Amino acid sequence: MTQEELDALMSGDIDLDETYAEPESAETEEELPAEEAFEENPSEEINQDKYRVSAMNSWPPPPPTDDNKMVHQLDDVTKESEAKASEIFDLIEGISNDLGQGEKDVKKIRTVLGSNIDLFNTLTTKFPHVEAFKTQLEQNKEALANLEAILETLQNGGDTIMNIMDIMQYQDIHRQKIERVINVMRALSTYMNHLFAGKIDDSKRVASAVHIHGDTSTDDIVSSDDIEALLASFGQK
C-alpha cells in the first residue's frame, strides 16, 4: 500500500475489505519460458548448481562462484598452460637428445662400414675369384646406403623438433596477452572501487527504503495485516 492509499484509508475513503479482497476467479497463467519468467520475476533465486552461462542471455548474470570468476579463471589458464608447456618442452628436449645421440651412433657405424668397404675392395682386387669378398663388399655397401637414409631421417627429426620448439614459443606470447588482460581487468576493478568509495562504513549506513513514493516496480508494500496492526496501535494510544 502506498502513502496515498494509507492517507485515504485513514480518512475513510477506502474500504479495506474491498481493496484487499481476493478475486473470485483467477485465470490460469500460461507457463512462460525460463527467460521470460525470470524477466517477470528477476529477484527469483538462482540455483547455482544448475546455472549455465549462455551467450544468448544477458540476464541473469552468473553467480560469483569460483567457476565464473573471470580473473580467477584466467589465472588458472595461465598457470596450467605454463605448467603443461614446461612438461612439453621437457619431453621435446628428451626426444631431441635421443635423436642427437642416435646421429652420433650412426656416424660411428658409418665409419666402420666405410673401413669394411675399403678392406673388401682391396681383397676383391687381389682375389677376384673369391666370391665371399665380393658378397661382403656388396652387403656393406647396401648397409651403408641404408645407414645414410637412417641418418637423414634422424636429422630431419631434429629439424622438426626445433620447429616445434619455435612454434611453442607462441604459447608464452599467449600467456603474456592473457596476463595483460588480467592486469587491465584488475586495474579497472581497482579504479571502480576507488570511484565508488565512500567516507561512511557500509555497516553504519541507514537501510534503504523498501518502497518510495512513485515506485511501481515493487510488490513489497504495506499489507492489510500491517494496516490493522497500525490502527490497533492508534486505538491503544
Domain that holds residue 133: 97-180
Instruction: Flag whether pLDDT at 169 surpasses 60.
Output: yes
pTM above 0.75, yes or no: no
In a domain, 236, yes or no: no
Q: Determine contact, residues 157/100, Cβ cutoff 8 Å.
A: no
Higher pLDDT, 31 or 83: 83
Hey, CA dihedral for 111, 117, 118, 120, is it positive or negative? Answer: positive
Please give the tally of structural domains in the chain.
1
End-to-end CA distance of the chain: 23
In a domain, 147, yes or no: yes
In a domain, 111, yes or no: yes
* Closest CA relative to residue 213, chosen from 7, 32, 34, 64: 7
In a domain, 102, yes or no: yes
Q: What does pLDDT average to over the chain?
A: 78
Q: What is the pLDDT of residue 70?
A: 84
In a domain, 36, yes or no: no
Q: Determine contact, residues 194/202, Cβ cutoff 8 Å.
A: no
Q: What is the pLDDT of residues 24-75, one digit of tens each?
A: 544 444 444 444 444 444 445 556 666 676 667 666 777 777 777 888 888 9
Instruction: Flag whether pLDDT at 10 surpasses 50.
Output: yes
